[in-house]
Structure 1
Amino acid sequence: MPRTISPPKTPKDSLHRQGYNFIAAGSSAAVKPCMWCKRALRGGEQCYKHQFYGIESWRCVQMTPTLRCNQRCLFCWRSMEHEITEEVELDPKEIIDAIPRVQRKGLSGDKPWSDPDRWETATSHPNQYAISLSGEPTLYSRLPELIDLLREEGNSIFLVSNGTVPEMIQKVRPSQLYLSLDAANASSYAELCRPAGDPTIMWGNIQRSLGMLRQKEEEGVRTAVRTTLVKGYNDGSGAASGIAALIKDAAPNFVEIKGYMYLGYSRTRLPETAVPTMDEIRSFASQVAEHAEYQILDENAPSRVVCLVRKP
């Protein structure tokens, strides 16, 4: 059975305790170094993005310009009882100027155990920005400008979006664009992702965003589709072939099949039995690869993810 977890008094109360550093009062723009960044600083393992795409984990900033979201996915770790609905939007330059300070603050406790050169590089000269911390970044109205300013300095930008704002997807130019695809059809999407708007419209918007991936690739953007596999919810009969059909039409460079993890407030919505085994993730990924005409590139068991690449 799902667990009972007391919600935080405010969203920021909970997030502060979890290591989020907010850029300004009144805004939910935030930076939080991930565990892989911290491990890499100490000379340990790097995240699967290093393994699959070559990024240096200790030079990666995990961030978001907003924590607002227009979905209430069952598998999301966030508390949805205290959702951020209104905030002050920050100027992109204000966000960028604050990043070194807040990244340094977030990593300050790791300094004594870190490689000195890596720590200094991580806090002074990061070169990879993962706009994926939480929330839906395309709800930030100045996202294209933020990405363009970051890229001007030669940085790599990974943007993760649920694809529900295709007008913004059309405008952005990250180094790599991830679109989430967690269902094979509108009804399954509505049940699992629980959009705040009309599910039919939102699902149609996702299809429009998927339809832009070929164009984004022509613009020099590396593209990826990510599916979070939730056992008993989006892995049933026909799910793999249905998702594969959408992937085949969209033709992203990469596909990631990532297993749901029993973390945070998702434990109030889903039972632990919703966590697929690594073998189940591999099996689902193999079915998607076969139907979509992709091939398995690699896998990372600690992060419970299998990466597919489009066949030449």
Structure 2
Amino acid sequence: MGDSHLLQLPQELLLLWHAHRTEILISAGFLVAIVRLTLHWRSTKTKAILTPPLGSPVTEKPIRFPEVVQEKTVPTAQPVKTNGPRRVKGVKKVKKQEQAKDERPPIDKIQPYIFYFTLGGSTKAYAEKLAESFILPDAKDRVLPPQVHDLTDIDYDDFFISPPKYDSPGTAAFYTILIPSYNIDTELHNFLSHLQETHHDFRIDTAPLQTLAGYSVFGFGDMQEWPTEQEGYCVQAIEVDKWMAKLTGKKRAYPLGMGDVKDDVELRLEEWRRGVQTIVDDLSQGKGLGEGVPGSGDPIESEDEADEDYDDGETLITITADLEDIRAPIPVDFTTSKKSTSTTTGPPKEMVPVNSPTFNSLTKQGYSIIGTHSGVKICRWTKSALRGRGSCYKYSFYGIASHRCMEATPSLSCSNKCVFCWRHGSNPVGTTWRWQVDPPEQIFEGILAAHYKKIKSLRGVPGVRSERFAEAMRVRHCALSLVGEPIFYPHINQLLAMLHAQHISSFLVCNAQHPAHLAALGPVTQLYVSIDASNRDSLRKIDRPLHRDFWERFCDCMDILRQKRYSHRTVFRLTLVKGFNIADEVAGYADLVQRARPGFIEVKGVTYCGTSTSAGAGLSMANVPFWEEVQEFVLALAAELKTRGVQNDGMEYGLAAEHQHSCCVLLADKERFYRENAAGEGKWHTLIDYEKFFKLVEMGGEFKAEDYVSAEPTADWAGWGRGGFDPRDVRVDRKGRPIEQKDEGRVVEI
């Protein structure tokens, strides 16, 4: 019985399975799903709970990660090399600011400075007006009267390498700079170059002007000519503002102001002035410039926020050395598709573009501009000689008739800004040639054509003599001394050769600032060097040279001139300016003569041009020496040279000729240009045998200055004490009335 029940059990189980299999399968499925979900949920947790082995008691233990991390040291993994390129991003090391700011005494007084640059005088007027309105009546004890300076009159080293020093420790300087915009080369370019060079000079601190209380710049522009900043609107002012921000260590006290000279310049300048005055008043009360938001005082605007540096996980960030002094751009990204900024410079610009302010100013003064950098002009002595009223000193000294002389220059640019220059600010300036270069053939043909055109325009002038007009249409001499620095022209030797090939003699004048050009100079009929001072300080004051090493260049030219005395007729040209280079400088001039040993020394009183620009340079009629003062100086110089000649090597210079109307006296080397005839009578021979000179040039060999000295002696009427006026001409007064000639009969030999 029991066995039968056991046999029936599987059958019953099978019946139960068939009867309830649906419920069993569904329940099993739910159970499996619950188990799987539970396991999945446990695996997604941060493993804070460990699952014990199957069959062991379930005890949950939290894992203490901090203790595990501190107990174990994870070895540094080796970098995994990838096949693709990798970017290297340089990060500029930010220099720690010196603690000098905190150590400085608090500011209790402000000394404002107003710097300006001008060509026509308008910016100067704005600067003077600004100075008048800058005085604060309520703060006279805190804000000192402003000082106004023309950028062409100062030594940049005195103001833009280190600020002025004061007796009171609480006094600080505040710079305001007024900058016009020009699309031509002016001395403003040299000021910008000075700021840039000062910033990049490793010998000078990164922020040498950081002791300034602050600075602000205002720019004058013309939106009709340059509508946007990218096209040149106030571009020079923007550059000055940028470099000043770097030199002062972000001391921009007030935003860069800009005004359109043909629209709202008065309004914008007044708004800017009020803002600057408010800042100056705050500074004088010790409030400082404030902290500012990030980026305040930066030299230039920051880029778009999307371009800011960030760590993308792919860039290797390295700390590099200071990159400020590296000129060329460093490629830092070889994978980006961003278009890089082109570093190529455009073609050289024209020195004097047509219709530029420089072009208009020079043509208004009577110049004819040839090509892009040359010029020609009719001298007043040419007009005088055409009417038989006398020639200039070159006729008395060297036999050159003024009506047959052409005054020209192949380079309107100069490296000096002499106080007595007739072209104050109207001609370009520069220390290196950075413009287009016209071929010498174009210059030669252009200056001749323009000169003849100007001569033809004088044929209807009353008093012009027909025979002299005919002679004037055949130029026999070219004075390369019109304006600028003729020796600066890269092809000056080729141009001189073209003149000599046409039997046109050449007088070339240089300013002793380009020794390399002077050393490479070829044959020239007579070589002049302007000697406007006898020492460094006087030269800087009167010539205002652009080169920092102007005195070293000057001395190098003296040594080169001594070498060329054997192959060229060399001349010292001394321009006497009362109050600048006359008093107590005779010995200094004698030192230079002894060093260079020129063949001739021309001593000439300055000619006052009578313009507002010359007055702005500090020159007036009071600076023009009288004829008697020039004579006194020449006698003193001749005596000094004679004394030195006796003591040393026999050097002796004598009074060879004079031209009173030009206020000019000629000293000549007695050894080479004083000759005795068969009767034993001594005569000066300063005239030139021009035909002999041309033959010597055509022969191509070496020759000396003595080889083309004229056999004809210097005219008696040109001798010392005779006045130097040709008696065959008629001297007239300002109204054209003849002046009776007086023979003074004064002859003095030294």
Structure with greater proportional helix content: 1
Q: Is 1:268 the equivalent of 2:627?
A: no
Contact in 2 for aligned 1:228/1:260 (Cα 8 Å): yes
Contact in 2 for aligned 1:7/1:82 (Cα 8 Å): no
| One-letter identity of the residue aligned with 2:415 | N
| Matched residue, 1:290 | 639
- Rounded to whole Å, the distance in 1 between the matches of 2:565 and 2:534 is 23
Superposed, which structure 2 residues align to 1:103-122 within 5 Å? 103-113=451-461, 114-122=464-472
Aligned-pair CA distance for 1:152: 2.1
Contact in 1 for aligned 2:571/2:600 (Cα 8 Å): yes
- Rounded to whole Å, the distance in 2 between the matches of 1:84 and 1:256 is 26
| Matched residue, 1:54 | 399
Q: Which SS does the other structure have where 1:89 is aligned?
A: coil
Q: For the structure 1 residues 101 and 7, does the alpha-carbon distance in structure 2 shift closer, same or farther, using more than 3 Å as the test?
A: farther
Q: Which SS does the other structure have where 1:309 is aligned?
A: strand
| Matched residue, 2:588 | 242
- Rounded to whole Å, the distance in 2 between the matches of 1:273 and 1:70 is 26
- Rounded to whole Å, the distance in 1 between the matches of 2:121 and 2:484 is 17
Contact in 2 for aligned 1:10/1:82 (Cα 8 Å): no
Aligned-pair CA distance for 1:7: 4.5
Q: For the structure 1 residues 117 and 257, does the alpha-carbon distance in structure 2 shift closer, same or farther, using more than 3 Å as the test?
A: same
Structure 1 residues 148-201: Cα deviation after superposition (integer angstroms, max 9, x where no partner):
221122221000110111111122221000001111111111111111110xx2
| Matched residue, 1:257 | 603
| One-letter identity of the residue aligned with 2:452 | R
1:185 aligned residue (527, 535, 539): 535
- Rounded to whole Å, the distance in 1 between the matches of 2:486 and 2:458 is 28
Contact in 2 for aligned 1:21/1:106 (Cα 8 Å): no
1:230 aligned residue (577, 581, 592): 577
- Rounded to whole Å, the distance in 1 between the matches of 2:667 and 2:636 is 11
- Rounded to whole Å, the distance in 2 between the matches of 1:253 and 1:45 is 26
Q: Is 1:17 the equivalent of 2:364?
A: yes
Aligned-pair CA distance for 1:69: 0.8
| Matched residue, 1:214 | 562
Q: For the structure 1 residues 92 and 34, does the alpha-carbon distance in structure 2 shift closer, same or farther, using more than 3 Å as the test?
A: same
Aligned-pair CA distance for 1:81: 6.5
- Rounded to whole Å, the distance in 2 between the matches of 1:56 and 1:187 is 38
Structure 1 residues 261-285: Cα deviation after superposition (integer angstroms, max 9, x where no partner):
2214323211321111111111111
- Rounded to whole Å, the distance in 1 between the matches of 2:119 and 2:389 is 32
Contact in 2 for aligned 1:7/1:79 (Cα 8 Å): no
- Rounded to whole Å, the distance in 1 between the matches of 2:437 and 2:471 is 29
| Matched residue, 2:501 | 152
- Rounded to whole Å, the distance in 2 between the matches of 1:11 and 1:302 is 32
Contact in 2 for aligned 1:245/1:291 (Cα 8 Å): no
Q: For the structure 1 residues 311 and 82, does the alpha-carbon distance in structure 2 shift closer, same or farther, using more than 3 Å as the test?
A: closer
| One-letter identity of the residue aligned with 2:365 | Q
Q: Is 1:311 the equivalent of 2:662?
A: no
Contact in 2 for aligned 1:163/1:206 (Cα 8 Å): yes
Structure 1 residues 47-93: Cα deviation after superposition (integer angstroms, max 9, x where no partner):
11000011121111100001101111111121226635664321111
| One-letter identity of the residue aligned with 1:258 | K
| One-letter identity of the residue aligned with 2:480 | I
| One-letter identity of the residue aligned with 1:188 | S
Q: For the structure 1 residues 190 and 5, does the alpha-carbon distance in structure 2 shift closer, same or farther, using more than 3 Å as the test?
A: closer
- Rounded to whole Å, the distance in 1 between the matches of 2:468 and 2:604 is 29
Q: Which SS does the other structure have where 1:110 is aligned?
A: coil
Q: Which SS does the other structure have where 2:546 is aligned?
A: coil
- Rounded to whole Å, the distance in 2 between the matches of 1:88 and 1:115 is 41
More deviation in 273-282 or 102-111?
A: 102-111
| Matched residue, 1:63 | 408
- Rounded to whole Å, the distance in 2 between the matches of 1:229 and 1:79 is 18
| One-letter identity of the residue aligned with 1:40 | A
Q: For the structure 1 residues 227 and 295, does the alpha-carbon distance in structure 2 shift closer, same or farther, using more than 3 Å as the test?
A: same
- Rounded to whole Å, the distance in 2 between the matches of 1:43 and 1:203 is 43
Aligned-pair CA distance for 1:109: 2.5
Structure 1 residues 215-251: Cα deviation after superposition (integer angstroms, max 9, x where no partner):
32322x21100111111111122x0111111112211
| Matched residue, 2:544 | 194
| One-letter identity of the residue aligned with 1:259 | G
Q: Is 1:76 the equivalent of 2:421?
A: yes
Percentage of identical aligned residues: 34
- Rounded to whole Å, the distance in 2 between the matches of 1:97 and 1:82 is 22
Q: Is 1:34 the equivalent of 2:383?
A: no
| Matched residue, 1:302 | 661
| Matched residue, 1:93 | 441
More deviation in 241-250 or 112-121?
A: 112-121
| One-letter identity of the residue aligned with 1:64 | T
Q: Which SS does the other structure have where 2:457 is aligned?
A: helix
Structure number with bigger Rg: 2
Q: Which SS does the other structure have where 2:631 is aligned?
A: helix
Contact in 2 for aligned 1:183/1:189 (Cα 8 Å): yes
Runs of 4+ in 1 over 6 A off after TM superposition: none
Aligned-pair CA distance for 1:309: 0.9
| One-letter identity of the residue aligned with 2:625 | P
- Rounded to whole Å, the distance in 1 between the matches of 2:531 and 2:426 is 24
- Rounded to whole Å, the distance in 1 between the matches of 2:394 and 2:427 is 31
Q: Which SS does the other structure have where 1:50 is aligned?
A: helix
- Rounded to whole Å, the distance in 2 between the matches of 1:214 and 1:67 is 27
- Rounded to whole Å, the distance in 1 between the matches of 2:360 and 2:606 is 25
| Matched residue, 2:389 | 44
- Rounded to whole Å, the distance in 2 between the matches of 1:84 and 1:119 is 36
Aligned-pair CA distance for 1:213: 2.5
Contact in 2 for aligned 1:131/1:157 (Cα 8 Å): yes
2:479 aligned residue (130, 134, 141): 130
| TM-score (ref. length: structure 1) | 0.90
Q: Which SS does the other structure have where 1:285 is aligned?
A: helix
- Rounded to whole Å, the distance in 1 between the matches of 2:633 and 2:598 is 18
Contact in 2 for aligned 1:7/1:81 (Cα 8 Å): no
- Rounded to whole Å, the distance in 2 between the matches of 1:296 and 1:266 is 32
Contact in 1 for aligned 2:416/2:429 (Cα 8 Å): no
Q: For the structure 1 residues 271 and 56, does the alpha-carbon distance in structure 2 shift closer, same or farther, using more than 3 Å as the test?
A: closer
Q: Compute the RMSD of aligned alpha carbons.
A: 2.0
Contact in 1 for aligned 2:119/2:425 (Cα 8 Å): no
